Every structure is written in C-alpha cells, then in structure tokens.
Amino acid sequence: MARQTIRTTKGRGRLYDSILDTVGDTPVIRINNLAPEGIELYVKAEFFNPAASVKDRLALNIIEAAERSGALKPGQTVVEATSGNTGIGLAMVCAQKGYPLVVTMAESFSVERRRLMRLLGAKVVLTPKAEKGTGMYNKAVELAKEHGWFLAHQFETEANADIHEATTGREILGDFDGKRLDYFVTGYGTGGTATGVARVLKKERPEVKIVLAEPANAALVSSGTPQERSADGAPAVSHPAFQPHPIQGWTPDFIPLVLQEALDKNVLEEVVPIPGPEGIEWSKKLASREGILTGISGGATFAVAMKIAESAEKGTVILAMLPDTGERYLSTPLFQDIPEDMDEAEQALSKSTPGYQLG
C-alpha cells in the first residue's frame, strides 16, 4: 500500500496587528476538472480577503488615502453607494478604525448583503430599485452634502485603481513570475480591478491580453455609447444600454470614471458580453466540480474564460478573477433551485437504515 502523505501547515510566520493587515495576497488556483485538455486555467480567489470580496482592497485604500490627505477627519461619518461588497468592505474597515458608516443601496440587491453591513455596524439606507444605481449614488451624494460626511467616491477616486496597481497586479506578476500567462479576464463594477491591473500588465507583461466581461443585457461598454458625466466625472444620467441583470456587483447603470481610464487608453483587447444565466450555471459548476464557491459575478467571469479556453491553442494559460463568495448570493437566483429539505434521493438514503429518520 502506498504511503499516504499528511498535509501539514506552518502558519504564516507573522502576527497581524489587525484584520486590515490580512487584506490582499489572495491565492491563484488551478482549475483541474473543468478546463479543456491542454489549457491551463486559473482563478484568483478574492473571497480569501477577510470580508470575502475583492472590494476589501479598495475599501481599505479609500479610507487610508483619505486619512493621509486629511479629507477624512477622526470620527467623521463615511457614506457610500454600493451594491454590497464595497459596503461590506467599508463596514469592516470603519468598524476597525472607529468611523461611523452609512451605506446607500438599491432595494433590489440581496438581503444578506445589507444584513452583513448592519452586523458590522453600518447603517443601510435603501433606495427604490426603479432608480437603479444612479439613484443610490445620488442619495449618497445628498446625504454627504446635507450632513458634512465623507463620500467615499468608489466610482471616481484614484485610490480605487491605485490599490489594484499596487497589490492585485503585483500579486499576479509574482505568482506568474517565470511562467506563461496569455489572458487575464475580469468583469467590472467600478472598473478598479481592470484599470489597476492593466497598468501593471501592460508595462511588465505586455503579451498578456486583457479581456473585460459585462452582462449581455447591460453591455454598456460594448454599445459604444459614451457615458454622460458631470464636471466631477460622476454619471450625469443612467446609460441608455443598461437593463437590470442578475450579476450583482457588475455593471451599474453607468460607466464608472475609474473604468474610463482603461477605455481611453485602449488597454482592453476584447470586451465580451455574457448572459446572466450562463454566469449562474458556471458558478454552480465551479462549486460542484471544483469545490470553489463563488458568486454569480465570479461565474460570469469564469464563463468568459471558458469561452476563450474552448477555442485557444494548446498550452494557453488563462487567469480569471473571482470577485467574491457564493454565500453572498443565498437569496438570489444562484440558490433558487437548491432545496432546503431532502430530495427523493436523500429521503431514500435516510430510509436505507432504520434509525434517526425525520418524521
């Protein structure tokens, strides 16, 4: 009998001063069961961040950049519009640093997100779903002006893409040091990941093709229609190509100013629309075939990576971003056909032995 190897761990070799020091350095993981033969397919698992999403990075940098500049005063209330993940990240950061936080969020986003933010000490102000992303954005602006609060400005601030240039992009360079990498695939909410990582890859790994994914029924970038903006770069109106879609965290009803940098510099090789149901399907496949639990946005990004993989030459290496965890989607279509009670097969298993059966 072959000798079995027991997995061991040694700790990280350091003690952390706070939860905030654990942000970043998320793992790149190989896809073994779903990748086409001859293709190396990897995912960057951002749910390893402490509040379980890629938005922990920008939340931390927005607050610390504002502290450094003096824009955020001790004890001042922070306010931001968010579909959830940025708000959860900000709630974690503000809880640790002692800032009150108010989040504005359209009522259409999953209830577990608002409950998580409230658990972390934030106040959550809901806005009508008919007003879409611009409605929750404008509400945050109103509250900041009325009360003298610090508006985080995730869709416009330089601190957003800067942190992905300084961390996410550098991590990718380090993990693929001396190794082939042909494609980097990401969706966009604010555009910080795409823009920040593109700054690094285009400079130091220009052979890597950067592919942007967006919802098929809200293909704002693919439409070619420019975003109307106010003087400060904020959206002036809802983008005409937007329609409601199930990929929470992706593509508000405007093209964020942070993403505009990547568009203006033409650093994206391709923009690929993906239907929401395909994102849901690939999220489920990642869970059931790879043991990787990611949300609909991660499934949609992975769906685009799989489209590339299916037509790529053998030896191609692809990296896809997984922005968050599937647990953030319990009340969404991702889980709507996952039963709470036993199905017929599970009932049959229960009855296959005499004891401990439910009545």
DSSP E strand boundaries for the chain: 28-30, 40-45, 78-81, 101-106, 123-127, 150-151, 183-186, 209-215, 270-274, 317-322
Is 218 among the domain residues? yes
182 and 306 in a common domain: yes
113 and 190 in a common domain: no
177 and 301 in a common domain: yes
Domain count, the chain: 2
259 and 115 in a common domain: no
- pTM attached to this predicted model: 0.94
In this structure, the chain runs to a length of 359
Is 156 among the domain residues? no
68 and 33 in a common domain: no
Is 104 among the domain residues? yes
Catalytic site residue 55? yes
Please tell me the predicted confidence (pLDDT) of residue 1.
Answer: 54
Is 9 among the domain residues? no
182 and 126 in a common domain: no
- Which of 218, 213, 208 has its CA nearest to residue 191? 213
Output the CA torsion sign for 97, 101, 106, 111. Answer: positive
Is 122 among the domain residues? yes
Range 24-32 contact pairs with CB under 8 angstroms and sequence separation of 24 or more: 24/49, 24/57, 24/167, 24/168, 24/171, 25/167, 25/171, 26/171, 28/171, 28/172, 28/175, 28/176, 28/319, 29/292, 31/290, 32/290
**Residue 187, helix vs strand vs coil:** coil
Question: What does R_g of the chain's alpha carbons equal in angstroms?
Answer: 21
What are the C-alpha distances in Å from 281 to residues 103, 109, 218, 230, 235? 30, 20, 19, 38, 32
Please tell me the predicted confidence (pLDDT) of residue 2.
Answer: 61
Residue 25 to residue 49: CA distance in whole angstroms: 8
100 and 39 in a common domain: no
189 and 331 in a common domain: yes
We report the CATH number of the domain holding residue 23 as 3.40.50.1100
Task: Per residue of the chain (359 residues), give pLDDT as tens.
Answer: 566 789 999 999 999 999 999 999 999 999 999 999 999 999 999 999 999 999 999 999 999 999 999 999 999 999 999 988 999 999 999 999 999 999 999 998 889 999 999 999 999 999 999 998 889 999 999 999 999 999 999 999 999 999 999 999 999 999 999 999 999 999 999 999 999 999 999 999 999 999 999 999 999 999 999 999 999 898 999 999 999 999 998 999 999 999 999 999 999 999 999 999 999 999 999 999 999 999 999 999 999 999 999 999 999 999 999 999 999 999 999 999 999 999 999 999 999 999 999 87
Beta bridge partners of 299: none
- Which of 169, 208, 209, 170 has its CA nearest to residue 192? 169
Question: 135: domain range?
Answer: 55-151
Active-site pick, 44, 53, 55, 132: 55
One-letter amino acid for residue 5 of the chain: T
299 and 278 in a common domain: yes
Phi and psi torsions of 312, nearest 5°: -80, 155
3-state helix, strand, coil in the chain (%, to 5): 45, 15, 40
